[in-house]
Amino acid sequence: MESVTKGTRDLLTAKLALENGTVFTGESFGASTEITGEVVFNTSMTGYQEIITDPSYAGQIVTMTYPLIGNYGINPEDLESVRPQVAGLIVKEYFDFYSNFRATGSLGEWLTANKIVALQGIDTRMLTRMIRTVGAMRGIISTVDLEDESLIEKARRSPSMNGLDLAKVVTTSSSYEWKEIDRTPFAVKTKGDQPPNGRQWRVVVYDYGVKQNILRRLTMYGCHLTVVPASFPAEKVLEMAPDGVFLSNGPGDPAAVRYGIQNIRKLVGKRPIFGICLGHQLMALALGGKTYKLKFGHRGANHPVKNLRTGEIEITSQNHGFAVDPQSLDPKTIEITHVNLNDDTNEGLRHRELPIFSVQYHPEASPGPHDSDYLFEQFITMMERESVSGARP
């Protein structure tokens, strides 16, 4: 049965100020407070709940380019983490009415309860064009300080993402076993409810800000997951004798996650490794490569990526502000496997001899298309080959 709710809350005046001196005036539909962060944009038409709860957005104020947000409410089944992770949210028009048989409340009520500031009623097209021209900028949203000069100064004093290790902020505080299985219609259609070949693969997941749907997809493919903190020592991982190691997505500057790079270097050649997003960047750094900050990043659910090994084009979900410099990797050792068709940036790599590969985008598709789900099966095949060959130390 469809649930329909009408909101009746009064909206407060709120302002967004950017470090370049631009100020936007709108209305608050979240918590009454102020927050600083890097202002970015996401081009997805749906999936705002998954975006808001994605730990990769820690420290960022996310602008949704789709003009109407909130119309299907909020439900507990689509969370990518236990709470909202964005610093703030900006939309053109917030819709307090929601219509969805799964909804348990409105977006505004949920953001308010979780103390997340949100702004509506500004020209998000102008803001997005500005970010594309100038680049991602530091900004501040406030309902308590409405003085333009004061807000601009606060924005300019706020931290930059460059050199910022946020993986340590969003990671789990202790190791745990993941039990939940993905039982969406897509998951059942893809693999059914039984692990491939009846076997469960023991996988250690490094949590740099892991999304829950990544864990669900790995479980659906027959993996028994132990999730460990971002700084968990590689020596202890090897003591656990896993079949493979997974490097998760996450926020911040990959070059600042030095402990992660060091641990990955100790695992290279010891176990099959699969990395996604920040995990991809850390893998590249561990293999001797370099990373750099993109002008405005890739955030959305429709980014075209070419698989250079097959020639096929995948439409992908992405969320990252840094990228791997492919020229910094040794071509004799590392093969570039994927490239972004919008700007030719690196989207994937594999080691030519060792069971190691990684991608910059999000094959778990939450939200987004399912074109790249095959990568999870590729990881399983890699672990199976290593197990059969007995090649691992």
Cβ contacts of 266 within 8 Å, gap of 6 or more: 234, 235
**How would you write 325-357 as a 3-class SS string?**
EHHHCCCCCEEEEEEECCCCCEEEEEECCCCEE
Query: Which residue type, as a one-letter code, is found at position 1?
Result: M
- Which residue's entry shows tokens 């996310």? 62
CA distance 241 to 220: 21
Identify the CA nearest to 178 among candidates 153, 129, 214.
214
The verdict on whether 320 is a catalytic residue reads no
Identify the CA nearest to 134 among candidates 281, 37, 36, 21.
21
> What DSSP element (H or E) covers 306?
strand 290-307
The verdict on whether 364 is a catalytic residue reads yes
Query: Which residue type, as a one-letter code, is found at position 12?
Result: L
Identify the CA nearest to 203 among candidates 176, 172, 230, 224.
224
- Which residue's entry shows tokens 């119309």? 71
The verdict on whether 362 is a catalytic residue reads yes
Tell me whether strands 137-142 and 201-207 are parallel, antiparallel or unpaired: unpaired
Six-digit token string for 95? 């819709």
Identify the CA nearest to 263 among candidates 171, 325, 188.
171
358 pairs with which residues across the strands? Answer: 275, 349
Q: Which of 280, 303, 338, 362 is catalytic?
A: 362
Give the three-class secondary structure for 143: coil
Identify the CA nearest to 217 among candidates 42, 372, 57.
372
CA distance 133 to 164: 23
Six-digit token string for 1? 């049965």
CA distance 122 to 125: 9
Query: Which residue type, as a one-letter code, is found at position 256?
Result: A
153 C-beta neighbours (distance < 10 Å), count? 14
Q: Which of 38, 277, 280, 303 is catalytic?
A: 277
Identify the CA nearest to 229 among candidates 264, 252, 204.
204
Q: Which residues are catalytic?
A: 277, 362, 364
